[in-house]
Amino acid sequence: MQSDKTFATRFGVIAATVGSAVGLGNIWRFPYECGANGGSAFLLAYIGFVIVLGIPVICAEFVVGRASGTNVAGAFRKLGAGRLWQSIGVMGITASFFIMGFYSVVAGWCMDYIWQSATGFGGVASQTELHTRFDEIVASPLRPVAWTIAFLVVNFMVISRGVQKGIERISNLLMPLLFVILAVFCVNSLLMPGAAEGMAFLFKPDFSKLDGDALLSAMGQAFFSLSVGMGALITYSSYFSKKTSLVKTAGITAALDTLVAVMAAIVIFPACFSFGQEPAAGPRLVFEVLPSIFMSLPGGQIWGTMFFILLFVASLTSTISLSEVVIACMEGEWKMSRGKATLIEGGAVTVMAVLSSLSFGALSGWTIFGMNFFNLLDFLSSNILLPAGGVLISIYVGWVLDRRIVSRQLTPPGHTRSVWVAPVSFCLRFIAPPAILAIFIFGLL
């Protein structure tokens, strides 16, 4: 019998990996970043980074995961790496906790907004009212905490069912659903009066906007969106069979992840221009600008409900991969049962998430380095842990790991050395480490 610790089908491999990559980063963060950094120029820079940095680092994580066949804490040791490289595992586990801590709060808001949209926002429609409502919701003492916990319960129920019956089954079901809902939204958006203006903003390049800040934001966004730098893809690729082509899977994941980000932008910008809204409204964009747009459309309640279901689906398949990083370590390193590991990890994440949710209300006076707890978790993971993990993983696979292992893993079975080995290795050796170090340093300035 096939072990539960591998994905059963090729479709399952793609659905789970794309499920990890596609999330709030694509639908919530990408349009806002793109809007704030000059639209089309940002998009081009983003695509460039996905190709020269993203795909090679995904390949590097896949090589480590499949060659070792184990979790992020054990993988480097199993490949004979020294302590420095083993610290990637510790950083990955820490990043998983931090990202779960703020991400599940936003996912909880999405669940709340599914309910709100379905009930027509209680008759509230103007943007000012929706602005106030968002502030009230995130600051209230119980409501966002309750939704965050509800989200975590769903997440850990799926995770507790294991790799095939939990992760793979839910990804196979939810990822196609996500594409269908997003495609419906794109068509609707392209039929709006502001479609031409929105599309020009997104696709007509204006290179004067491409300054250093925009480049750095585009690179950071590419890493977060592709789920690289913290071992989520090491963990998933330890469940790949020998027959899975790593380069092809990396390429498909990057392409579909970028497609979803572009589709989300196609949904949002024409709608913004049609309704005279600001594309650079920031993290609030999805929660206040979009509902005001939906509410003014015929059938707005249905559109709104579908949109927030889409965000919920996207975030669930991403948090599943984040939690699996830690659960696989507990099972593999500490020999815990999956049920026990799920309970312990679930409990720890819930404490982090509750504190981070309360940091918009009861704990808003509590700041560390001038940031509330939610922003601190976001800052530490995106600006420090992911880039540091990305640099270390690239150097390890590019310079330290035996060349024969890299070449064997990147070459599909039955082929002689793949043509992709040389370009991927070149990017990992000479391009990724200095480029990622640049985000790391400038991100801290």
Name the site residues for ligand PFF (rule: CB under 6 A).
20-21, 23-26, 99, 224-225, 227, 230, 232, 318, 321-322
Helical ranges in 140-211 per DSSP H: 143-160, 169-190, 195-203
- Shortest Å distance, C-beta 101 to ligand PFF: 13
* Tokens standing for residue 142: 């119980």
- Dihedral angle at the C-alpha atoms of 301, 307, 313, 314, nearest 10 degrees? -160
* CA atoms of 385 and 372, how far apart (whole Å): 18
Helix (H, G, I), strand (E, B) or coil at 368: strand
- Shortest Å distance, C-beta 40 to ligand PFF: 21
Q: Which is nearer to ligand PFF, 182 or 230 (CB)?
A: 230
- Shortest Å distance, C-beta 142 to ligand PFF: 26
Helix (H, G, I), strand (E, B) or coil at 79: coil
- Tell me 123's DSSP state: G
* CA atoms of 426 and 422, how far apart (whole Å): 6
Cα–chain center distance at 310: 14
- For the chain, give percent helix, strand, coil, nearest 5: 80, 0, 20
* CA atoms of 24 and 26, how far apart (whole Å): 5
Q: Which is nearer to ligand PFF, 24 or 138 (CB)?
A: 24
- Shortest Å distance, C-beta 26 to ligand PFF: 5
Q: Which is nearer to ligand PFF, 50 or 295 (CB)?
A: 50
- Shortest Å distance, C-beta 88 to ligand PFF: 13
Q: Which is nearer to ligand PFF, 130 or 262 (CB)?
A: 262
- Shortest Å distance, C-beta 256 to ligand PFF: 12
Q: Which is nearer to ligand PFF, 20 or 342 (CB)?
A: 20
* CA atoms of 311 and 187, how far apart (whole Å): 18
Which residue has the CB atom at the shortest distance from ligand PFF? 25
* Tokens standing for residue 136: 């009230």
Please name the residue that has the structure tokens 């801590």. 101
- Shortest Å distance, C-beta 99 to ligand PFF: 6
* Tokens standing for residue 163: 């790799």
Q: Which is nearer to ligand PFF, 210 or 325 (CB)?
A: 325
* CA atoms of 246 and 62, how far apart (whole Å): 7
* CA atoms of 201 and 241, how far apart (whole Å): 43
- Shortest Å distance, C-beta 340 to ligand PFF: 23
- Shortest Å distance, C-beta 177 to ligand PFF: 17
Q: Which is nearer to ligand PFF, 79 or 260 (CB)?
A: 260
Cα–chain center distance at 347: 22
Please name the residue that has the structure tokens 């980000």. 261
* CA atoms of 260 and 386, how far apart (whole Å): 22
* CA atoms of 313 and 322, how far apart (whole Å): 15
In this structure, are residues 145 and 302 in contact, taking their beta carbons and an 8 Å threshold?
A: no
- Shortest Å distance, C-beta 267 to ligand PFF: 16
